[in-house]
């Protein structure tokens, strides 16, 4: 490295020898005669200049703005979803209330119909009992009439037979001629 110019020098400077009491303890690096803090400051300025030249702050703010916009969109979507969910909840609450009212109305209607059916069944059974009672009374009356007619017919037959027997025993030819004369005279 004898041919290359020395950027970093290891030779003690007057400032380093004076601060350390004249003895060269160690040498601080230097670049073109600048102190290390100056080199760091220039390197930072160059880095910041390159970052500005390559538009790094714009890219960072653009990326942050894009993330902020995405988060806003997600928040808006969440608000919309919440509003839809609340609307659905309200709709279903209304449907449940209507269903409860409908169920209560159906129960009232069913009770009225059951009472109506029960009243009709009682009326029909009372009418049927009355019809059957009338039919039984009619059947009994017909049986009585038939029995009376049968008894009367038997009594008439028995009376006719008894009359024949009496007439046959007590009537003779003279009684017959008297009977015939009385019938003829009454005409």
User: Tens of pLDDT along 127-163?
Assistant: 999 999 999 999 999 988 888 988 888 888 888 888 8
The answer to whether position 47 is within a domain reads yes
Number of structural domains in the chain? 1
The answer to whether position 96 is within a domain reads no
Model confidence at 107: pLDDT above 90: yes
Model confidence at 1: pLDDT above 50: no
The answer to whether position 181 is within a domain reads no
Residue 34's beta-bridge partner residues?
31
The answer to whether position 107 is within a domain reads no
Residue 37 C-beta-side C-alpha neighbours within 13 Å? 0
Q: Could you tell me if 28 and 40 are in contact, meaning their C-beta atoms sit under 8 angstroms apart?
A: no
Q: What's the longest Cα–Cα distance across the chain?
A: 209
As a whole number, the mean pLDDT across the chain is 83
Name the token pair of 24: 């060269």
Model confidence at 10: pLDDT above 90: no
Model confidence at 2: pLDDT above 50: no
Q: CA–CA separation, 46 vs 31, rounded Å?
A: 16
For residues 39 and 71, the model is more confident at: 71
Give pTM, 2 decimals. Answer: 0.36
The answer to whether position 104 is within a domain reads no
Name the token pair of 140: 């009994």
The answer to whether position 85 is within a domain reads no
The answer to whether position 18 is within a domain reads yes
For residues 129 and 60, the model is more confident at: 129
Q: CA–CA separation, 133 vs 137, rounded Å?
A: 6
Find the domain containing 37 and state its range: 1-52
The answer to whether position 77 is within a domain reads no
């Amino acid at each position: 490295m004898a041919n290359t110019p020395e950027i970093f020098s290891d030779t003690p400077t007057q400032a380093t020898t004076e601060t350390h009491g004249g003895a060269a303890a160690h040498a601080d690096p230097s670049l073109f005669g600048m102190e290390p803090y100056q080199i760091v400051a220039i390197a930072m300025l160059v880095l910041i200049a390159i970052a500005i030249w390559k538009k790094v702050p714009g890219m960072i703010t653009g990326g942050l703005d894009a993330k902020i916009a995405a988060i806003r969109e997600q928040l808006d979507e969440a608000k919309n979803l919440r509003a839809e969910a609340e609307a659905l909840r309200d709709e279903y609450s209304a449907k449940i209330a209507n269903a409860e009212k409908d169920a209560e109305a159906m129960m009232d209607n069913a009770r009225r119909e059951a009472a109506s059916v029960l009243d009709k069944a009682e009326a029909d059974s009372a009418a049927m009992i009355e019809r059957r009672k009338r039919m039984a009374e009619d059947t009994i009356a017909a049986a009585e009439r038939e029995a009376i007619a049968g008894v009367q017919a038997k009594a008439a037959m028995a009376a006719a037979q008894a009359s024949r027997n009496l007439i046959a025993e007590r009537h003779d030819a003279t009684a017959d001629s008297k009977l015939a004369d009385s019938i003829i005279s009454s005409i």
